[in-house]
Chains A and B, each alone.
Chain A
């Protein structure tokens, strides 16, 4: 093997400039792939984090997934009952404290009660339909990051007035309400209430900021005219990625509907999948183009060294040895290129990360979200090595098959 390395390095050294160009090609490919990956994944993770932070990881609601199984169906296989509707009963989660206590025993995370109700906000002649979330200002910081997303006021401001309300930032702008404005709320069941705006929240997700308002649980219960009702239990998990499994278990155990954040955002996540496919394709194409450079240089070397190859073969070198020489050359280019590429990629990320942007008046100054992951570097290097190996293999195979006599005869 050292023989192969020796000859390979000699060839590479003899063609230093072309080799450098090929290395530069691979390095550029690897570098930009890493940057692309950091950028794409970074923005994705950033977005998901915003989303996940802004809403509970799992929301348990009182909607029953299906009509209950009838006793006749339980007793007889052949029994089929049509025309059933889910039971009409008192809304809300039955005995919420007991349910929460039961969940607390095994769910890895924080659990909090909530009341969700829909209402129409009326202010200065404008009507806007909103979702009113009844929350517990003491508990909320444990189950969402809402407390840190307050533009004005804070969660405890809710205690300040009799009927206090916090509005989403876009919602507030839309209706022109400010701190201290008194708005009126109307529910679908006809309930009415006036409330004082005590805070403005800004989560950064447009749909949420446009349609959400927060009140105390008690206020929401009064608005719904249902004393003591809890119709949502919200869970924040230590690891958001297991939300789906936990939600499934909750459905099995409580028979209430439990929706994990990824289910609630299915469309968005599938859009990310499409984005990932696009990213992979683009990154793959960059690396592929880089490997053309490697193919080129190895082809050139095999052409130039055709006589040497013939000599080595006539001396008794095996085809596989000759082939290895050129594959090693290609891999050397790939490896050196990858090393430089990793450095370049890291530098590009640092460079991009150094900028500050203001995307719109509603958002704070942000940096481009980047995700640093060893995997990006490993994958880019792996793909670069693989494509270099393949790019070297074909000219190498062709070269190794050369019939020594043809070249010796030609030279003589």
Chain B
């Protein structure tokens, strides 16, 4: 359970304190309850659990896509409950990258334009700089020759890698992935996993991935298991020394 000494010294990037999320419906549905969690720099975290256990809900809470009913989520050291929706959007834009089970690229735009979207929303770079940066990210994921293609001209694995490239667009410290390989065949699945692995090991990113595959989870560095909305296990699966 004890976090590695080096990581423990650094402030957590994402922190959940006593977080519960209850859907306010005719019969209230509790998605997650009493979650205490800290994600530290350069961790590669798997969130696992059976279908409907609340693992995706937890990821959305950590990614500020959803707000907890009680408790608090802190991202990059900032409290997020009391700030405006626009400010939360800003944190997502700059600090968090999302990869979903489906690529969710905008169908009318090319791979390059899709990767440029978050940069343009942020608006810090010139058009030429954004273009260069998008091409660079795509090239680093082995997609150099697909930059000008639209999503429907690419394979599933390629699309998902473009989605990862888009998540990296504004160079966020944290990548949140919801079943990133869930809709891919084995080979593409391996490619995407290798990219995520490299993001942690080589670029020092922090990756939190929801997966139902125990096999995949075992190859990450930390495994958090959710059952019925509660954390039932939180363990290091890879000794810190081997990193």
Q: A3-B121, A307-B104, A412-B102 are in contact. Are A317 and B66 (CB under 8 A)?
A: no
Interface string of A1-16 (1 = CB under 8 A from B): 0110001001101100
B193: CB under 8 A from chain A?
no
Give, as a whole number of angstroms, the nearest-CB distance from B78 to chain A: 15
Q: Are A412 and B179 in contact (CB under 8 A)?
A: yes
**Which segment, of B11-19, B39-47, B87-95, faces chain A?**
B87-95
- Out of A2, A3, A14, which one reaches B117, CB within 8 Å? A3
Give, as a whole number of angstroms, the nearest-CB distance from A120 to chain B: 85
- Out of A307, A316, A318, A405, which one reaches B118, CB within 8 Å? A316
**In the complex, which residues of chain A have a beta carbon less than 8 angstroms from the beta carbon of B63?**
314
B189: CB under 8 A from chain A?
no
**In the complex, which residues of chain A have a beta carbon less than 8 angstroms from the beta carbon of B122?**
316
- Out of B56, B66, B90, B108, which one reaches A316, CB within 8 Å? B90
B120: CB under 8 A from chain A?
yes
- Out of A308, A316, A408, which one reaches B89, CB within 8 Å? A316
Q: Which positions 157-183 of chain A face chain B at CB distance < 8 Å?
A: none
Q: Are B117 and A412 in contact (CB under 8 A)?
A: no
Q: Which positions 235-267 of chain A face chain B at CB distance < 8 Å?
A: none
A310 to B31: give the CA distance in the assembly, Å: 20
Q: How many A-B residue pairs have CB under 8 A?
A: 72
Q: Are A405 and B66 in contact (CB under 8 A)?
A: yes
Q: Which positions 99-119 of chain B face chain A at CB distance < 8 Å?
A: 100-102, 104, 106-109, 117-118
Q: Are B117 and A10 in contact (CB under 8 A)?
A: no
A361: CB under 8 A from chain B?
no
Interface string of A304-319 (1 = CB under 8 A from B): 0001100111111111
Q: Are A409 and B166 in contact (CB under 8 A)?
A: no
Which chain A residue lies CB-closest to B93?
A316
Q: Are B86 and A10 in contact (CB under 8 A)?
A: no
Give, as a whole number of angstroms, the nearest-CB distance from A323 to chain B: 12
A79: CB under 8 A from chain B?
no
A192: CB under 8 A from chain B?
no
Q: Are B166 and A315 in contact (CB under 8 A)?
A: yes
Which chain B residue lies CB-closest to A311?
B104
A412 to B65: give the CA distance in the assembly, Å: 15
- Out of B89, B101, B104, B120, which one reaches A318, CB within 8 Å? B89
Give, as a whole number of angstroms, the nearest-CB distance from A318 to chain B: 5
Which chain B residue lies CB-closest to A315?
B118
A117: CB under 8 A from chain B?
no
Give, as a whole number of angstroms, the nearest-CB distance from B164 to chain A: 13
Q: A312-B117, A321-B121 are in contact. Are A412 and B89 (CB under 8 A)?
A: no
Q: A308-B106, A311-B106, A405-B60 are in contact. Are A316 and B179 (CB under 8 A)?
A: no
Give, as a whole number of angstroms, the nearest-CB distance from A57 to chain B: 62
B221: CB under 8 A from chain A?
no
A412 to B102: give the CA distance in the assembly, Å: 7
**In the complex, which residues of chain A have a beta carbon less than 8 angstroms from the beta carbon of B106?**
7, 10, 308, 311-312
Q: Which positions 163-200 of chain B face chain A at CB distance < 8 Å?
A: 166, 178-179
Q: Are B65 and A314 in contact (CB under 8 A)?
A: yes
A10 to B89: give the CA distance in the assembly, Å: 24
Q: Which positions 44-92 of chain B face chain A at CB distance < 8 Å?
A: 56, 60, 63, 65-66, 85-86, 89-92
- Out of B93, B120, B166, which one reaches A3, CB within 8 Å? B120
A242 to B60: give the CA distance in the assembly, Å: 72
Q: Which positions 181-224 of chain B face chain A at CB distance < 8 Å?
A: none
A31: CB under 8 A from chain B?
no
A404: CB under 8 A from chain B?
yes
A318 to B122: give the CA distance in the assembly, Å: 10
A315 to B90: give the CA distance in the assembly, Å: 9
A316 to B170: give the CA distance in the assembly, Å: 11
- Out of A14, A311, A403, A411, which one reaches B108, CB within 8 Å? A14
Which chain A residue lies CB-closest to B117?
A315
Q: A307-B104, A311-B104, A412-B179 are in contact. Are A317 and B65 (CB under 8 A)?
A: no
A252 to B77: give the CA distance in the assembly, Å: 82
Q: A10-B109, A314-B65, A411-B102 are in contact. Are A319 and B121 (CB under 8 A)?
A: no
Q: Are B121 and A315 in contact (CB under 8 A)?
A: yes
A307 to B108: give the CA distance in the assembly, Å: 13
A312 to B114: give the CA distance in the assembly, Å: 10
A12 to B63: give the CA distance in the assembly, Å: 32
**16 contacts across the A-B interface (CB closer than 8 A):** A2-B120, A3-B120, A14-B108, A307-B104, A308-B106, A312-B117, A314-B65, A315-B92, A315-B166, A316-B96, A318-B86, A318-B121, A319-B85, A403-B66, A408-B100, A412-B56
Query: What 4 A-B pairs are tightest by C-beta distance, nearest first?
Result: A316-B93, A316-B92, A3-B120, A10-B108
